[in-house]
Structure formats: structure tokens, C-alpha cells
Amino acid sequence: MVTLSDGESHKHISSFKFTKTVALVAAITAGVVIIAVIYCAIAFTPLRVTIPGYPDSHSRKDAITNAIKIDSLESLITRWELYSENLSRVVAGEEIVSLDSLVKEGRAKYLKNKSLEELGKQDSILRETVREEEEFSLNGSQRDLPIEGRHFFTPLLGVITQGFDRVNHPAVDIAAPESSVVKAVLEGTVVFSGWSEESGYTIQIQHPGDLISSYRHNMKLLKDVGDRVSAGTPVSLVGNTGSLTTGDHLHFELWHDGKAVNPTDYISF
């Protein structure tokens, strides 16, 4: 029992009987109060960022930035898929696919619950943004991945017998045994597959980013005009066809934005 009394007169003021039940209730109450105080301090104050694994403001900012980049990349991939599909259809003489038809078919899942009016408004905003980017672009081209940022597949492993010269030989010659498999360096669409007097059996592929790869003097072509190919897809077999050749080899050219570039700067043969 706890008794309160006056220190001078020793007069009894009050008393309190302390039992095990009261002690248990007091301990539980004190524990709940302490836990509540700690929770509030962590949940509603900057102390929460001290918890390991809890995202701080920088982490949340990075997450938002990454989400925006992912969305942009998805949009870019969709655009290039549409471009490749339309290029294939044009070569085959078929009707092209429009962006509006893709939206109507629901291939863009995040748009399927939006009204046509809202879609039209967003499409207008997108078109205006693209127009402004093209207007103020230094080179007037679309914003694509630079050639340095692309991962090229090696078309053929062999010995380079003649290097690149922008004027006299805008290509590299790779010597390899006859019938060696030649592979596409990037994904794209075959825009030429046929014979020429000088180059023999030749195949050319249009890739995203204003890139064109050319494979000449083949013994056999494995793809036709309009075929879609992925990086590493076999497209031809090494040969010695055409008048401008003296042995089995691949004459490989890489063109970017209408200019020949040195393939060895980006590809290991």
C-alpha cells in the first residue's frame, strides 16, 4: 500500500493499495503508450528515413525518374514496332497500320479505359511535343538511341582482309570458309535481297535509328524482301559471287544516317 502524508504535520492525505493486478495493468498501459509514442515518432517525423530499407526522398525521386524512363522506352519500342510493321507492309504492297487503329484494337492497354475525347487530346499533345522537338533539334532528326549505345551482333567471325576506307572501300571484308553463316547485326526488315553483277548475291537490312547493314558476295540468301529479322538471325551464306571478288568472303557495310561508318568501331569480328 502507498500512503501520502504531510511532511510537517504527518497528517494522512490519501492512500493507494498496490496489487499485482494494478501493477500488471499499469505495465501494459505504459508499454502501449511507449509503443504508440515510438510509432508516431517514426511514422510522422523524419526519423522514419533512418530505418534500413526505407526509401528516402532521393530514392523516391530516382524511382519516379526510372518509371518515366521505362514508360518512354515502352513508347519508343511501340513506335519502332509500328515502323517496322509498316515498312514490311509497304514492301509487300499492303495497307499500312495507323496508330489510331492500334488504340482502337486495345493494344495499348493503359489507354483502353479512356474516352475517345481524352485519347484525342493526349494524341494532340504528343504530336505537338514531337513537332517542337523536331523544330528545335540541331540535326532535324528524331530522338533515337545513338549508334554508340547499340549492341551489335557479330555478323561473321573471320579475318579482316581489307579494312574500311570511306572513299575507296566503305566496308570491311571478312574472309571465312564457304557456306559460313552470316547473321544480322541488329533487328530490322530486309529491304533488298537479290543479285547484282558486281556484288553478287546481296542482302540489305533496314534497322531502327537510320541504320542499314549490307552483306555482299554471298553464295546463298536466306531471307526475302519484307522479312523481319532479329539480331543474330542467319540471313545468308558466305560465298564468292559477283565480279568484284577474288575469294570466299563477306563484304560488310554499315550505314548510319546516309553515311558509311567503320563497322570495326562498333563490332568485334
Q: Name which residue leads in pLDDT, 116 or 249.
A: 249
> What whole-number distance in Å separates Cα of residue 63 and Cα of residue 107?
26
Measured in whole angstroms, the distance separating CA 195 from the mean position of its chain's CA atoms is 36
pLDDT at 181: 94
Per the prediction, the chain carries an average pLDDT of 79
Q: What percent of the chain has pLDDT over 90?
A: 42
pLDDT at 111: 47
pLDDT 10s digits, 50-70: 666 555 556 666 776 777 778
pLDDT at 20: 75
Whether 210 contacts 144, CB under 8 Å: yes
pTM: 0.48
pLDDT over 60 at 113, yes or no: no
Total length of the chain = 269
pLDDT at 143: 43
pLDDT over 50 at 249, yes or no: yes
> What whole-number distance in Å separates Cα of residue 15 and Cα of residue 179?
106
Q: Determine the average pLDDT of the residues in 144-154.
A: 80
The C-alpha cell at 123 is 494524341
pLDDT 10s digits, 188-208: 999 999 999 999 999 999 999
Q: Determine the average pLDDT of the residues in 32-56.
A: 73
Within a 10 A sphere around the Cβ of 252, how many other Cβ atoms?
A: 24
Residues 6+ apart with CB under 8 A from 148: 266
* pLDDT-based confidence at residue 92 (cuts at 50, 70, 90): confident
Whether 206 contacts 256, CB under 8 Å: no
Q: Determine the average pLDDT of the residues in 75-86.
A: 77
pLDDT 10s digits, 164-177: 998 899 999 999 99
pLDDT 10s digits, 251-268: 999 999 999 999 999 998
Query: What is the residue type of 259?
Result: K
Report helix, strand or coil for 95.
coil
